[in-house]
């Protein structure tokens, strides 16, 4: 399927989605939102895709934010609808059963930072920059930034970033817990692919269950979160992949997982 603002490539079991508007630093507009919605819905339906990388075209930006020119004359009602569509994309991305990784190859500001935050992991090139600068425009983050950022780095740090509109570099983002790993620019895609290819070799239902338990348990009391873990652990004993994984371990051979 062709997308107006995205490049989509399946590299084995890893799907690579690239926001492809480099002349405007991959800024988000209504078409980007529509294309991301379509590709994420398609990804959710494909059994052969076991991991997803999200990145931006060119060397300057992952996604530098929303298209300000397109937003400037919005009414409050139009802004609410735009934010709802942006939130829906974030929810689709966060809700995928497969692991997702944002490979941030430059500016990840505003909506770009919010897209990255909706992914499970963030890897960044050394020159990458992060920020939620919306207050400088007289608004606040509208695609989930306030909430996902605070859950990632803590309330006080999220407040500081959102209230100052400050831009931080990749190493500071890693120290805050926003970024998992920082690598040289030339090594970013390979590092991201290596991690996703490793995960894609694991049992798909175990990966999906582990992801769901971690996400759902994060906002629950420990006793309730541990109950989720017990239930997820037990349910996987009904899968063919559990039988295969343990048989392979005991037989000292590589496992061949089918997702069943």
pLDDT of residue 151: 95
Residue 231 has pLDDT above 90, yes or no: yes
pLDDT of residue 53: 98
Under 8 Å between Cβ of 220 and 230: no
Place 181 in a pLDDT band, splitting at 50, 70 and 90.
Answer: very high
Please give the share of the chain, as a percent, with pLDDT higher than 70: 100
Tell me what the mean pLDDT of segment 179-198 comes to.
97
The distance of Cα 53 from the centroid of its chain, to the nearest Å, equals 8
Under 8 Å between Cβ of 191 and 183: yes
Tell me what the mean pLDDT of segment 62-66 comes to.
91
Residue 1 has pLDDT above 80, yes or no: no
**The domain 6-200: what is its CATH number?**
3.90.226.10
pLDDT digits (tens, 9 = 90+) for 113-151: 999 999 999 999 999 999 999 999 999 999 999 999 999
pLDDT of residue 195: 98
Under 8 Å between Cβ of 84 and 143: no
Domain limits, the chain: 6-200, 204-250
How big, in percent rounded to 5, are the helix, strand and coil portions of the chain? 55, 15, 30
C-alpha pair distances (Å), 153 with each of 106, 160, 168: 20, 11, 13
Provide the mean pLDDT of the chain. Answer: 96
204-250 classified as CATH 1.10.10: no
pLDDT of residue 92: 97
Between CA 242 and CA 137 the distance in angstroms is 52
Burial of 99 (0-12, 13-18, 19+ CB in 10 A): buried
**Catalytic site positions:** 114, 134
pLDDT of residue 98: 97
Nearest to 96 by CA among 207, 225, 244: 207
Supply angle C-alpha 103, 70, 42, rounded to 5.
Answer: 45
Under 8 Å between Cβ of 37 and 84: no
Place 70 in a pLDDT band, splitting at 50, 70 and 90.
Answer: confident
Between CA 102 and CA 119 the distance in angstroms is 6
Please count the CA atoms within 13 angstroms of the CA of 91 that sit on its side-chain side.
6
């Amino acid at each position: 399927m062709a997308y107006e603002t995205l490049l989509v490539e399946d590299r084995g079991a890893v799907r690579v989605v690239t926001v492809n508007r480099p002349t405007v630093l991959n800024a988000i507009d209504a078409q980007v939102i529509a294309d991301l919605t379509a590709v994420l819905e398609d990804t959710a339906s494909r059994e052969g895709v076991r991991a997803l990388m999200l990145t931006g075209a060119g060397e300057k930006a992952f996604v530098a934010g929303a298209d300000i020119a397109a937003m400037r004359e919005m009414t409050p009602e139009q802004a609410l609808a735009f934010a709802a569509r942006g939130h829906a994309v974030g929810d689709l991305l966060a809700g995928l059963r497969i692991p997702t990784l944002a490979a941030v190859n430059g500016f990840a500001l505003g909506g770009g930072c919010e897209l990255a935050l909706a992914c499970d992991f963030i890897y960044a090139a050394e020159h990458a920059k992060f920020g939620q600068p919306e207050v400088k425009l007289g608004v606040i983050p509208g695609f989930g930034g306030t909430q996902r950022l605070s859950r990632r780095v803590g309330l006080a740090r999220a407040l500081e970033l959102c209230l100052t509109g400050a831009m931080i570099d990749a190493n500071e983002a890693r120290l805050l817990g926003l970024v998992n790993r920082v690598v040289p620019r030339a090594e970013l895609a390979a590092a991201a692919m290596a991690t996703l290819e490793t995960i894609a070799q694991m049992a798909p239902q175990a990966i999906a269950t582990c992801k769901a338990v971690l996400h759902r348990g994060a906002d629950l009391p420990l006793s309730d979160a541990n109950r989720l873990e017990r239930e997820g652990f037990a349910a996987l004993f009904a899968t063919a992949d559990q039988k295969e994984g343990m048989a392979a371990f005991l037989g000292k051979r590589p496992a061949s997982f089918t997702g069943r």
